[in-house]
Amino acid sequence: MKTDLKKAIIFMLLSTLAFAVMNGVVKYLDGFNAYEKVFFRSLGTLIFTMPYLIYKKIPLLGNKRMLLIARGVIGAISLILFFLSLKYLPVGTAVTLRYLSPIFAAIFAVIWLKETIKPLQWLFFFMALTGVFVLQGFDGTTSLIGLLLVLTSALCMGLVFVVISKIGKQDHPMVIINYFMIIGTVLGGLLALNDWKTPVGNEWFLLLGLGVVGFIGQLFMTKSFQIASTNQVAPLKYLEVIFTVIIGVVWFLEIYTIWSVVGILLVITGLVLNILYKARISK
């Protein structure tokens, strides 16, 4: 059991590191518009998902097709908005705020899935949202445009969680990801046409690498959840924020004020406490 937990922790660390690297590369490729980056990020993952489904003879179209399309469209919009926000926000701040998606997911679940939110969970959500107000109200470096973009991205991601919950086990997880990547490739490609920039040299490697690194992150995260309980490994997801902040400071020489650090810590603490509390009451 201890060996399994150790392996799960290593998998989650590799996952968060992969996602942090992907965030850094997206920020680095500032000369490309967000739509083109979504196109390449999606295409790079399709290289893995499509052959896998064909090899395993898993039906590409799936069963809950309307929900699968909805998941793909909303997910692609969320990704576009997140990439757009990186033009205005430090990469660590943007990643932190996008992690507010569980709050929106919980609210959507109350409305559509008739789930309930415990009073203590509201307290944790309030703590996380207080972090947002600290970032905007006290940290003068936080862009309002960037804040609106990334919060809308988080809202869309919260909706994605509810849609996936509605799909349930009626479709293979790789089918769900494949729909997302196909729609991301098509939508990102079409929106990028008016301002397309042809990559040169290692830009091809970096752009296509977005999808490869993103897939690696997804794969290791899935493996981690498969061999350990949610409450043991889910809080480790937020290490992505720490890794991303480090990349922002070292790679892009970003400066985080004391208020931005306080805001980020409030968001992460509130969300981690919610995960631990949910795990406890579900036993």
Angle between helical axes of 34-55 and 2-28 (0-180°, round to 10): 140
Report pTM. 0.90
Quick one: pLDDT at residue 282? 67
Ranges in the chain, pLDDT < 50: none
DSSP letter string, 95-108: HHHHTTHHHHHHHH
Give residue-wise pLDDT tens across range 25-64: 999 999 999 999 999 999 999 999 999 999 999 999 999 9
Quick one: pLDDT at residue 230? 63
d(CA 215, CA 48): 8
Write the DSSP symbol of residue 44: H
Give residue-wise pLDDT tens across range 166-196: 888 888 889 999 999 999 999 999 999 999 9
Quick one: pLDDT at residue 3? 66
Quick one: pLDDT at residue 233? 78
- Map tokens 């990334």 to a residue: 150
